[in-house]
């Protein structure tokens, strides 16, 4: 899958959602799910990578549960039967808050990042190339589901970190030192267009967003549109 043939995103899909993955899963493919966890009486949501639109064969079931302090279940279903659960006793999501959830397909495992931080990995129990669909269910609203081709980024098994630096602001009669967190830097210089992503930490005074690129030789217009969208869910 090259950049020119990358699958377009699903925009504002309703939940429950089921959609096709064009060409199926490939090593190096990244799928990014952005949305918000609803405030509701429901306590779970799930992202499933499956064969077809049936839920009988799910290669990877990613299932956050807001129960018993919060944890995430990962599992595989084959011919309608669940395997052994793998539980991570952490909850990286918060009710009422937006999230960015990224799945990277590796040769031996899925790697999962939440809001820019490595969260977990899940070894393949069935061949990942059999997966050609995904579904999202439960107590979430979705903004978009986007697909980045192999080579978009190289994930690390170690958590990603940010370095806090200090800038000095000159104020008459005094000096103020304010901590500044640099914007998240993505290592790959190539992104599919249109490109959608969450802004970790949101927008605040002094935060900078830098967009760089190359105008294609076939372009008929030279320009760009960058939208920072604030949404409110009730």
DSSP annotation string for 173-211: TEEEEEEEPPPP--S-S---SS-----TT---TT-----
Q: Of 15, 37, 34, 12, whose CA–CA distance to 96 is shortest?
A: 37
Tokens linked to 227: 């939208």
Is the pLDDT at 55 greater than 80, yes or no?
Answer: yes
86-137 per-position pLDDT tens digit: 999 999 999 999 999 999 999 999 999 999 999 999 999 999 999 999 999 9
The full length of the chain comes to 234
Instruction: Give pLDDT, residue 41.
Output: 93
Per-residue model confidence (pLDDT) at position 150: 86
The two most distant CA atoms of the chain are separated, in Å, by 73
Q: What is the pLDDT of residues 126-179, one digit of tens each?
A: 999 999 999 999 999 999 999 999 865 444 334 444 434 443 444 455 544 444
pLDDT, position 192:
55
Q: Residue 64 has which token pair?
A: 């956050």
Predicted TM-score of the model (pTM): 0.67
For residue range 192-215, what is the model confidence (pLDDT) as tens digits?
565 666 665 566 665 667 676 656
Cβ(16)–Cβ(137) under 8 Å?
A: yes
What is d(CA 124, CA 60) in angstroms, rounded to the nearest whole number?
A: 8
Residue 2: how many CA atoms within 13 Å on its side-chain side?
A: 1
Instruction: Identify the weakest region by mean pLDDT among 30-44, 48-62, 195-209.
Output: 195-209
Residue 87 sits at φ, ψ, to 5 deg, of: -110, 135
Q: Which carries the bigger pLDDT value, residue 154 or residue 36? A: 36
Would you give the DSSP letter of residue 44? B
Rounded Cα distance between 110 and 121, Å, is: 5
More confident residue, 36 or 156: 36
Give the CATH architecture of domain 3-148.
Sandwich (2.60)
Please name every residue paired with 148 in a beta bridge, in sequence order, or none if there are none: 30
Give the C-alpha separation, 74 to 67, whole Å: 15
- Three-class SS of 215-228: CCCCCCCCCCCCCC
Residue 46's closest CA among 27, 28, 31, 60? Answer: 60
Rounded distance between C-alpha atoms, residue 85 and residue 122, angstroms: 11
pLDDT value of position 209: 74
Say whether 170 sits in a helix, a strand or coil.
strand
The 3-state DSSP composition of the chain as helix, strand, coil percent (nearest 5) reads 5, 40, 60
């Amino acid at each position: 899958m090259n950049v020119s043939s990358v699958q377009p995103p699903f925009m504002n899909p309703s939940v429950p959602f089921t959609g096709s993955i064009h060409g199926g899963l490939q090593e190096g493919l990244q799928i990014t799910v952005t949305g918000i966890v609803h405030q509701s009486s429901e306590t779970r949501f799930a992202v499933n990578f499956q064969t077809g639109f049936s839920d009988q064969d799910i290669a990877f079931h990613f299932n956050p549960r807001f129960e018993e302090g919060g944890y995430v279940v990962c599992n595989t279903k084959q011919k309608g039967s669940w395997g052994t659960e793998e539980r991570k006793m952490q909850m990286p999501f918060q009710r009422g808050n937006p999230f960015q959830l990224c799945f990277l397909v590796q040769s031996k495992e899925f790697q999962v990042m939440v809001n820019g931080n490595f969260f977990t990995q899940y070894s393949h129990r069935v061949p990942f190339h059999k997966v050609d669909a995904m579904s999202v269910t439960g107590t979430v609203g979705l903004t978009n589901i986007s697909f980045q081709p192999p080579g978009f980024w190289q994930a690390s098994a170690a958590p990603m970190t940010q370095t806090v630096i200090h800038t000095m602001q000159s104020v008459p009669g005094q000096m103020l030192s304010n901590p500044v967190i640099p914007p998240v830097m993505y290592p790959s210089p190539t992104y599919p267009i249109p490109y959608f992503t969450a802004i970790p930490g949101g927008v605040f005074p002094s935060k900078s967003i830098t967009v760089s690129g190359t105008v294609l030789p076939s372009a008929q217009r030279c320009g760009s549109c960058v939208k920072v969208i604030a949404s409110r869910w009730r």
